[in-house]
Structure 1
Amino acid sequence: MITGEKMSRLRVIGGIAKGKRLKTRNVKHLRPATDFVKEALFNILTNQVPGSLFLDLFAGSGSIGIEALSRGALKACFVERDPLNAELIRENLAITGFTEQAEVYICDIIRGLYLLSQKEYRFDLIFVDPPFRKGLIEPTLDLIWELDLLVPGGLIITRSAKKEEIKVQKNPLRQEKYGDSILMFFC
């Protein structure tokens, strides 16, 4: 068990693992999406998730990628720089029974994206949830597009703070506000 780890109100809200409680850590930089944000996100993605290859960047506890697996994604890859968070993701995958459908990469986003590119992965859905107000969304999106990690017709979803200014090459297809979070959808 990881120091500071605890079972929390964080849970899987839909699919075959619905109701399973996930572990989290009591640290300031870990801010899992609320059930409200997760439910809104997966209501939008209902038709795209089943059978998809899902990438969870800045994965934290892994709750978004695990939610995708619960709702029928074939595989999820998680990129997380913090080794304790990566171990937390592995524990949460074990709790939900998705260990065999997942890969966890313990590295920074740039290295992680290059590793995935070298393995010739191309994803149907990519969730980008960096620390708020750190300017990480733009370079992450640029590198995803440069490395051609998204299949034609795939979606990249970003989560940012409500008043965070984001300047990217492409306009989002859709933008939704949920509490303090903004979700933007790019293709």
Structure 2
Amino acid sequence: MVTNMRIISGSCKGRKLKAVPGKSTRPTTDKMKETIFNWIGPYFSGGSCLDLYAGSGGVGLEALSRGMDFVIFVDNNKNAIQTIKANVSLCGMEDKCEIYNNDSERALKAVIKRHLQFDLIFLDPPYKRQKLKALIEMIAEKSLVTESGCIICEHDPEVALPETIGDLIRVKSANYGLSSLSMFINEEKEEER
């Protein structure tokens, strides 16, 4: 159980965050956050982010602290929603966030209706109910990631994600014992590298 949650870097560096009460969520460790932001670049000059299984909101708030303009937080756990609201308030980021109590598929459908695209999408579903491939297929099919954007998935190491899903290609992965990370970007972007 992670008890010391904080913002690692940026405008809110060192800010302590609340954890979601109970054992229903699994906070992303500082080590994993460091890996994520080393992969995608430590700081941003704007952009938008979708944190689809937000839990405490720690990863999305880290992105805001590092220069992202806007984050939509989604979780279907009421305790998580209250915790996200508290953490957003602790960081003074209310004007840069939307917070929704919803399941992932309904949330994606709402985002599609609004014709939104994101520079960064975090997917960290409960390990026992992972439908990552289907979610990434929906994101790819509806072009929810900007051309230069990416998807970061935190998942059970036993979940084998394919190398390509639609126009998205897996470019990085790392294993942390009980958790793994995978990063997908647009295939055209990978060809330009």
- Confirm or deny a common fold (TM above 0.5): yes
Shift of 1:47: 5.6
Between the two proteins, what is the percent identity of the paired residues? 33
How do residues 81-92 of structure 1 correspond to structure 2 at under 5 angstroms? Answer: 81-92=76-87
- Call closer, same or farther: CA 1:105–1:17 in 2, change over 3 Å: same
Residue number in structure 2 paired with 1:132: 127
In the alignment, the residues of structure 2 paired with residue 94 and residue 152 of structure 1 have an alpha-carbon distance, to the nearest angstrom, of: 31
Answer with 139-148 or 88-97: which moved more: 139-148
Residue number in structure 1 paired with 2:191: none
Gaps of at least 5 residues in structure 1 are: 1-6
- Check conservation: 1:13, 1:67, Cα contact below 8 A: yes
Residue number in structure 1 paired with 2:189: none
- Call closer, same or farther: CA 1:19–1:84 in 2, change over 3 Å: same
In the alignment, the residues of structure 2 paired with residue 47 and residue 11 of structure 1 have an alpha-carbon distance, to the nearest angstrom, of: 16
Answer with 21-30 or 39-48: which moved more: 39-48
Shift of 1:116: 1.2
- Give the total of aligned pairs: 181
Answer with 44-53 or 157-166: which moved more: 44-53
Residue number in structure 2 paired with 1:184: 182
In the alignment, the residues of structure 2 paired with residue 51 and residue 122 of structure 1 have an alpha-carbon distance, to the nearest angstrom, of: 13
Answer with 69-78 or 170-179: which moved more: 170-179
Matched, 1:74 2:65: no
Alignment RMSD (CA, Å) = 1.8
What one-letter code is carried by the residue in structure 1 that aligns with 2:158? K
Deviations 1:68-95 (A, max 9, x none): 0000001011111112211110110000
Gaps of at least 5 residues in structure 2 are: 186-193
1:165 is paired with a residue of what secondary structure?
A: coil
- Check conservation: 1:8, 1:21, Cα contact below 8 A: no
Shift of 1:183: 1.1
- Call closer, same or farther: CA 1:16–1:129 in 2, change over 3 Å: same
Residue number in structure 2 paired with 1:26: 21
Residue number in structure 1 paired with 2:188: none
- Check conservation: 1:159, 1:184, Cα contact below 8 A: yes
